Amino acid sequence: MQCLIIGQTAFVLKECKALAERLKNSYHVVFTEKDINGKYPNNVLLNAAVIGKNVIANTKYLDKSVKDYCLNEGYQLIHVNQGYAKCSCAVVSDHALITADRGIYNSLKEYNIEVMLIRQGRVQLKGADYGFIGGASGLDILHGERILYFSGNICAHPDYDMISDFCGKHQTRIYPLTDTELYDIGGMVFC
């Protein structure tokens, strides 16, 4: 929720100077126009899932710098009512994602995006009833291979077989980072 990477550009909350400093060698850094506020909806300025040339977000709350970039660079903004769009989506490929959010699932039916709906829960998040699959995962491409990392043991998820088949269908390998329960860490950034 502190940064959003689209292509070679990293959008960073203007309060996160240290993060911007770490990203500047790998990305063109753009600071948000608005200040973040700890309360929803002012904490979701950068909470968007990037899948191919699509950016999925509650566009009412997405920072103007991201909207302008998308319009100028040919990315399609897809509005969903979920403010925590990135947290709610595990991106599997340029055309596929996993979510437990039925609203996102229904909103994406008309787009060229394959969406697998899983059951809600089974992801821990301190201070909340449950966390989100997108906050517990991150997609990276390493030596030409897509790898979907999970902060925790995805194999223990009750929908693991479906998740594994779906990822396999999209030539994405699953890699659990620990043997503990899945934990929503807010997503992952790879440089």
Give the alpha-carbon dihedral of 63, 12, 152, 130, to 10 degrees: -40
* pLDDT of amino acid 39: 86
Digit-coded pLDDT (tens) for 5-43: 999 999 999 999 999 999 999 999 999 999 888 788 989
Q: How confident is the model at residue 124 (pLDDT cuts 50, 70, 90)?
A: very high
Q: How far apart are CA 20 and CA 65, in angstroms?
A: 15
Tokens of 74: 């040919």
User: Each residue of 162-184: pLDDT tens digit?
Assistant: 999 999 999 999 999 999 999 99
Digit-coded pLDDT (tens) for 33-72:
998 887 889 899 999 999 999 999 999 999 999 999 999 9
Residue of 96, 46, 91, 89 whose CA lies nearest to 70: 46
Distances (CA, A) of 51 to 70, 91, 130: 13, 7, 24
What is the rounded distance in angstroms from the CA atom of residue 121 to the CA atom of residue 142? 29
pTM for the whole structure: 0.95
